[in-house]
């Protein structure tokens, strides 16, 4: 019901103990709970038009899950903010790994620079286990979602309308992909159209879910700046990518940096500020874990200095054919790298001087 948010829900619960009792209450009882006349009348008038059973049937039709704020599955970080939504509608899945997420926002009129920066930073963040949150809008939002998906990572889109409506309509295919590899989220019931007032309110959910907000390109009046301000109010980190002082698309981000937002050159700046560099290192080490004894034995023969395959065979005691085939597989998995002349190094510790032409 419009106008019945977290504060009024709390008032109703305090007075009636259950929302079922509040739903059935008279206008006089609703006023006794502390609601003003307009809110009480709103409930009494609107509930005659709402059939809860039909509403639940519609949600099942669209495979939408409903999370009330008292549900154990409700995102805990979101519940930390003052104006958290009493109900979340979700298409897709929320996973525990999504607790480590970052909101990425920006202008709908992204420049070539903005798109390139978004692709590079989001791809690196996604590969380091960060779930990307955005708003499915044109421009930076769409680029961020696509970059996360192409990196094989998870992403979540927060809607400013009901989940039965995709806005903008051109992103319908992208929304389906996000639903399959993440989640579509809204606080609005089915049938709610994307009104202008809904977008600033939607933004508080994006920042509330996240560890921080990254603004990549934003003009002086961009909605992305609203998200950044909400993030500050919620005690979240704010990051901004600098741009040309001559570019209108970078005036907002440059101003954020001037006001104290963390300047971002690459994904490492974000991981370090959020104290997630250890997690990134652990992920890298996980990728290096051998799958069998042969890989384990070969990894012990390699380090930062190039080692010839003949030396690897001699020290490991394995046949040349076996070593060659296993090293090839390990190189495909990104564990080792051949640096020329059948010399190998650990891929994660490779130095530039060991790379050879061709």
Q: Per-residue DSSP letters for 332-354?
A: HTTSEEE-STTEEEEGGG--GGG
Q: How far apart are alpha carbons 235 and 256 in whole angstroms?
A: 16
Give the separation between CA 223 and CA 216, rounded to whole angstroms: 12
Q: How far apart are CA 178 and CA 148, in angstroms?
A: 9
Q: Is the pLDDT assigned to residue 134 strictly greater than 60? A: yes
Q: How far is CA 333 from CA 203, 285, 322, 342, in A?
A: 39, 13, 17, 18
| CA nearest to 103, candidates 71, 75, 136, 81 | 136
pLDDT in tens, 261-295: 999 999 999 999 998 864 544 445 445 556 678 88
Query: How far are the Cα atoms of 70, 175, 312 from residue 210, in angstroms, in the given order?
Result: 19, 20, 46
Report percent pLDDT > 90 for the chain. 70
From the CA atom positions of the chain, what is the Rg in Å?
Answer: 26
Round the average pLDDT of the chain to a whole number and report it.
89
Dump the DSSP string for 197-247: THHHHHHHHHHHHSSEEEE-S--TT-HHHHHHHHHHHTT-EEEE----TT-
| Residue 79 C-alpha from the chain's centroid | 17
Residue 358: is its pLDDT beyond 50?
Answer: no
pLDDT at 206 over 90: yes
pLDDT digits (tens, 9 = 90+) for 15-42: 999 989 999 999 999 999 999 999 999 9
Closest alpha carbon to 157 in 222, 216, 92, 201: 92
pLDDT of 195 strictly over 80 = yes
DSSP assignment letter at 170 = G
Using the Cα atoms of residue 9, residue 14, residue 18 and residue 23 in order, give the sign of their dihedral: negative
- The angle that helices 223-233 and 198-209 make with each other, rounded to 10 degrees, is 50
- In this predicted structure, the answer to whether residue 310 has a pLDDT above a threshold of 50 is yes
In this structure, of 37-46, 120-129, 252-261, 345-354, the range with the lowest mean pLDDT score is: 345-354
């Amino acid at each position: 019901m419009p106008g019945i948010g977290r504060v009024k829900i709390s008032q109703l619960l305090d007075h009636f103990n259950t929302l079922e009792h509040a739903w059935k209450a008279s206008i006089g009882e609703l006023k006794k709970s502390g609601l003003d006349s307009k809110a009480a009348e709103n409930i009494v008038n609107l509930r005659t038009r709402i059939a809860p059973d039909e509403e639940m049937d519609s949600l099942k039709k669209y495979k939408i899950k409903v999370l009330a704020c008292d549900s154990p599955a409700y995102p805990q970080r979101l519940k930390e903010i003052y104006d958290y939504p009493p109900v979340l509608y979700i298409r897709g899945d929320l996973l525990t790994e999504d607790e480590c997420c970052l909101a990425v926002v920006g202008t709908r009129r992204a420049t070539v620079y903005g798109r390139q920066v978004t692709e590079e930073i989001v791809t690196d963040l996604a590969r380091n286990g960060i779930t990307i949150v955005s708003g499915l809008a044109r421009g930076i939002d769409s680029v961020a979602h696509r970059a996360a998906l192409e990196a094989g990572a998870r992403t979540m889109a927060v809607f400013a309308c009901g989940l039965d409506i995709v806005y903008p309509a051109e992103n319908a295919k992208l929304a389906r992909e996000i639903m399959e590899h993440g989640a579509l989220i809204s606080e609005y019931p089915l049938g709610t159209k994307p009104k202008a007032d809904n977008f600033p309110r939607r933004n508080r959910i994006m920042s509330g879910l996240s560890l921080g907000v990254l603004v990549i390109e934003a003009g002086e009046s961009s909605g992305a700046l609203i998200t950044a301000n909400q993030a500050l109010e919620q005690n979240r980190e704010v990051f901004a990518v600098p741009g040309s002082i001559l570019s209108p698309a970078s005036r907002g981000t440059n101003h954020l940096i001037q006001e104290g937002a963390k300047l971002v050159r690459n994904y490492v700046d974000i991981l370090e500020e959020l104290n997630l560099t250890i997690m990134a290192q652990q992920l890298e080490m996980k990728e290096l874990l051998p799958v069998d004894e042969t890989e384990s034995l070969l990894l012990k023969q390699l380090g930062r200095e190039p080692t010839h395959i003949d030396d690897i065979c001699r020290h490991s005691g394995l046949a040349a054919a076996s070593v060659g085939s296993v090293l090839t597989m390990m190189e495909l998995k990104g564990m080792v790298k051949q640096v020329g002349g059948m010399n190998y190094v650990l891929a994660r510790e490779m130095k530039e001087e060991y790379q050879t032409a061709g």
